[in-house]
Structure 1
Amino acid sequence: MDSFKALLIEESEGKVANRFVDMTVADLDAGEVLIRVAYSSVNFKDALAATGAGKIIRRFPCVGGIDLSGTVVASDDARFKPGDPVIATSFDIGVAHHGGYAEMARVPADWVVPLPAGMSLYEAMVLGTAGFTAALGVVRMEENGLTPAKGPVIVTGATGGVGSLAIDMLAQRGYHVVALTGKESEADYLRSLGAAEVMLRQSLDLSKIRPLDRARWAGAVDNLGGDVLAWIASTMEQGGTIASIGLAASMKLNTSVAPFILRGVSLLGIDSGYIREPYRHGVWQRLASDLRPPHLLDMARTISFSQLPETFEQYIAGKAKGRVVVELAGG
């Protein structure tokens, strides 16, 4: 194609805005692999970037979209050839390198992962960074010794992309999953994904967090940060493991060392953005096999490219649920 549609994020007089533009391949950033994009997805990070609600973009202008799946058009790297179905997520995509909200993308070969056998380009974007992050959290916690027999696992931000996928993955692996949410109306949705219990965030008194409280959790997947993470740390079982994944509530953490030195709690930082091998390919392979969420397609909805701006507003308003896939060229 001579020109193609893209969603460009720009800054003017300190204000961030996004708009659709026409681009050519010559406008794309450098990289060894040129991809015709079939699908992208919407993550909370994408909404923060595109609206300026968070200081995510490191270079203006920039095509948004931290995730993409599609087909290789041309490659200067022997690992990829025209026609190969591929995934590209994370690294600088959509924040400092033109991303997946365009019908064409060009990225460094080291950022590209072959589409695993048994996974479609659409399914790859239902998963996207959210699925990769949730799976990486599960992998890291189990490497740290977490098993279903050790006790319940709490998942915060449960209706979000990472939260929904983490619940689905953990439940199918036999864990007793407790979903923590501020959305009482979504309790049935969370149970449909495998949550054994649904706890309302409103039931917590976060103004009185003790250094050590009643031990309740063998594991935790936290998407919120802030006081919720501090409360989780205080309520972990002996030898418990926390996967710290997000900061939807706050990036501050006001806690004590007590859980870590008196109960041996581990706080694992889950960096899905820049983690390399063996995790990157390995986690994607597992997402196509034993970590594949059984309710993957049930938690997804598809939007057209033109619906992106209004979808960002839903995320910022806290009204998003599950996963949103953006159809660019299909496939």
Structure 2
Amino acid sequence: MAKYLVCGGAGYIGSHMCKRLHEAGHEVVVCDDLSTGHLGALQWGLHACGSLEDAAFLRELFATHDFDGVLHFAALSVVAESMRDPQRYYGHNVAATLNLLRVMREFEVSKLVFSSTAAVFGEPLSRVIAEDHPTVPVNPYGLSKLMVEQILRDSARAYGLRAVALRYFNAAGADPSAVIGEAHDPETHLIPKLVRKAAGEGMQVTINGTDYPTEDGTCIRDYVHVNDLAEAHLLALDHLDNAVGMHTFNLGNGTGHSVKQVVDAVQEVTGVALDIPVTGRRPGDPAHLVAGSKRARAVLGWEPRYTKIADIIETAVRWHGTDSFRNWIAEASEAGDAAAETVRFDARQQQRKQG
């Protein structure tokens, strides 16, 4: 049994990771300030409420626990928001990660699995994006993740850090137990928006462009189940037991589904007819984003279990029908505000102590 720090463990993918680590017999400590995460997601391990931007908090956390490694999910991740406020994204995603890496080095913790993104690639040059595809991000969110990847690569060379960066495509679905799942407020992802619209929530959903060079004219994306992502992280931890340096892997099913196909699949799973209006293209939306994940399959031995879009959607539908989901959404704003104030208060107290 090992002890792992999960940064962002109260969030969507992080909470599924905590559950998987617990099932594998590992000890879990979650670092999350709950600004976007959920108290209800904290069902496995201990919780330390704090931010990676607070180096003093991190030092106290590492001094209290003897970690075998770190899984880093804590990041801002809304592309449009990153365009409006890039400094916030560079501060939270890059500078805060530097804090974490410095403290890891100080306490001689050398194993890290980092949550990266397909946004590091920018405009695709091929229908299937392999790991060696050029990385030319087109927004501050993608660039912030690529910056961290470079920092990890340099840290591996200079300090002996062992790191894996996992570049997700479109995370989707929920744990089949329906005890945790996706609950963003506001929601920006297509599948949960469609599922919630089918449930009568009145979500605003549009098809953004029907004139792309695809079979039905709508964008094609690669959807990968959140539990398959968690399994890849567990395999990455095992890989780092024997591998040195920094490694990158794509995580996707390798097959794409168009927006219209996803709409049709949600209608089929829920039995609800959806009237989705069509608007023009959104700036910067590529026609195809499909992962080539050969390296993850060959090196990590990763094989996604959820390969059918209907099966992924079915787990999302099950989760969105629970009282837990409704409670998470209802409490999200209040809990986030309270947690953020707690973090600010703790930081002020720490500054007074140091003064």
Give TM class, smaller chain.
0.3 to 0.5
TM-score for both structures, normalised by structure 2: 0.32
Greater share of strand residues, 1 or 2? 1
TM-score for both structures, normalised by structure 1: 0.34
Greater share of helix residues, 1 or 2? 2
